[in-house]
């Protein structure tokens, strides 16, 4: 745990600060000697806008940089700018930057997205490498998702039971070994559950009352049902692939009464509840652990659903990291 003043940064925070230093963000602001818009930073560090925005979103939330609005340009896309703080001024190459880079691990040996990865427009791509250290990180991430399924599902049962009224058959796409669908079928016994995942995953699944384990690939087809659930699935994938997945799910449900239930984080650019810090940390992990995945804002979710052909959707915010989006054909 690295601490800057009152801010204690965990593993995700150290990765984000490391990327900022490698990109030269503190030095660029120091040289500019004044607030900078996102486009000005982009021109200086040569990183794709989406990736840089996510890094800065995390760092401003944690007090490393400051985000301020320019009220005179409230209608301008660049109506805000980033400025230095006492902490960011310590992260220049002539001050604490070398120390932080050592804390994050020697070049080539630390896991997580690097400045080189971000400039090339992708995360570190842990899924597609043969690096044992990255395999360990990905396995730990998968284990976390399995454990978190219990917490997320309990939040859904407690705060969003109406979402499951009238559903006779529910498919959990990418349901791993069936933890979530098993809990939902037990809580709502009128539902017949289908746990849908790849062959190597289903092979490890144990029998669950009221749940059928089905082998398949969500990019090819999804089993027919009244409703399809995607829990912590879409944040792993690019916008284009998310749209492909959503279209397959839409094909699997009835056009009149069907729906797709998305359980995922929704990013609030300006505020958020006490779980926003956890969502931002998750976004940094997703940036490192996937090629094009990301946590999305409500506007980004709406755009995906619209392109995938859904007519409307509702959002239910929970007292949890995730929210529930119900999308209708």
- Catalytic residue positions? 235
Nearest to 15 by CA among 133, 101, 137: 101
Radius of gyration of the chain (CA): 21
Strand partners, 83: 66
d(CA 115, CA 23): 6
What is the three-class DSSP state of 212?
Answer: strand
Strand 323-328: give its sheet, edge to edge: 211-215, 192-197, 169-173, 227-231, 259-264, 323-328, 312-317
d(CA 272, CA 260): 25
- Torsion angle defined by CA atoms of residues 267, 272, 273 and 277, in that order, rounded to the nearest 10 degrees: 60
């Amino acid at each position: 745990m690295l601490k800057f003043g009152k801010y204690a940064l965990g593993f995700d925070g150290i990765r984000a600060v490391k990327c900022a230093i490698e990109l030269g963000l503190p030095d660029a602001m120091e040289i500019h000697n004044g607030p900078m818009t996102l486009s000005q930073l982009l021109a200086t560090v040569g990183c794709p806008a989406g990736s840089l925005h996510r890094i800065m979103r995390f760092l401003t939330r944690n007090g490393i940089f400051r985000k301020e609005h320019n009220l005179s340009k409230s209608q301008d896309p660049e109506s805000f700018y980033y400025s230095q703080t006492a902490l960011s001024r310590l992260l220049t190459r002539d001050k604490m930057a070398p120390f932080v880079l050592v804390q994050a691990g020697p070049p080539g040996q630390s896991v997580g997205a690097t400045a080189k990865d971000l400039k090339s427009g992708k995360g570190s791509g842990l899924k597609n490498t043969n690096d044992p250290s990255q395999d360990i990180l990905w396995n730990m991430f998968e284990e976390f998702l399995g454990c978190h399924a219990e917490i997320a599902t309990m939040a859904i049962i407690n705060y969003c039971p109406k979402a499951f009224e009238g559903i006779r058959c529910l498919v959990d796409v990418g349901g791993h070994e069936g933890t979530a669908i098993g809990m939902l079928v037990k809580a709502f016994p009128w539902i017949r559950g289908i746990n849908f995942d790849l062959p190597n995953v289903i092979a490890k699944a144990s029998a669950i009352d009221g749940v059928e384990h089905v082998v398949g690939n969500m990019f090819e087809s999804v089993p027919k049902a009244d409703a399809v659930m995607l829990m912590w699935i879409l944040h792993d994938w690019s916008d284009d692939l998310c749209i492909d997945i959503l279209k397959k799910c839409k094909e699997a449900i009835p056009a009149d009464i069907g729906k797709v239930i998305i359980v995922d984080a929704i990013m609030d650019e300006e505020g958020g509840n006490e779980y926003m810090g956890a969502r931002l940390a998750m976004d940094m992990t997703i940036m490192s652990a996937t090629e094009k995945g990301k946590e999305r804002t409500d506007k980004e979710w709406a755009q995906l659903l619209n392109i995938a052909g859904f007519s409307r959707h509702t959002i239910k915010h929970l007292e949890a990291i995730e929210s529930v989006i119900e999308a209708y054909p």
